[in-house]
Amino acid sequence: MSWREDCAAGLLYDATAPEREAEHIQCADLCWEYNKTRPSDMAKRESLLRQIFGVLGENPYVEPTLFCGFGKNIRAGDRFFVNNNCVFVDPGIITFGDDVMIGPQCGFYTALHPLDAQVRKTGAEIAKPIHVGNNVWFGGGVKVLPGVTIGDNAVIGAGSVVTKDIPANVLAYGNPCQVIRRLD
């Protein structure tokens, strides 16, 4: 199987595969171009975003600088808002619902490296998807780790490190992120 098929199946994959690196460079070039656009050139920005992201709903707004590992593995719904300096490490799928707001300097990471040093030295990697529901707000500096699901209407407080699933309709924050109270 290819690295992408192994990755999608939740298996260890070869992170050094030449075709993987080619996909990464293609996305990095698009992100570089996006990050150099003029703020007033909204048509060019949206065109580039639609080349970077796998799925992008209506009325996206993404501030530079943007970094995506592959881009095509990111699926975002309508009215997707991303503030500046966000990072998407996406060998695995990252899914965002509608009306998601992401504060500055947030990171979403699907890649995991093996704990065993000998396996890690081979360039093997594994990825776990991230799922974010509708109407979710991430404060600045939030980091979301591999395999996490965040429910609809959740608010994740600034500086949080989200290591486990967060249910719908809650305020959660901290390191590690934990539910503070319900919002309904």
Write out the catalytic residue numbers. Answer: 113
Helix (H, G, I), strand (E, B) or coil at 174: strand
Q: Which residue, among 28, 27, 2, 26, has the nearest Cα to 15 in the 3D structure? A: 2
* Helix orientation angle between 42-52 and 18-35, rounded to the nearest 10 degrees: 170
Q: How distant, in Å, are the alpha carbons of 28, 120, 124, 131, 151 from that of 148?
A: 25, 22, 21, 6, 10
Q: Strand 143-144 to strand 61-62: parallel, antiparallel, or no bridges (unpaired)?
A: unpaired
Q: How distant, in Å, are the alpha carbons of 107, 121, 146 from that of 125?
A: 18, 10, 12
Helix or strand holding residue 150 (H, E): strand 149-150
The alpha carbon torsion through 86, 87, 93, 94 (nearest 10 deg) reads: -20
The alpha carbon torsion through 149, 154, 160, 163 (nearest 10 deg) reads: -20
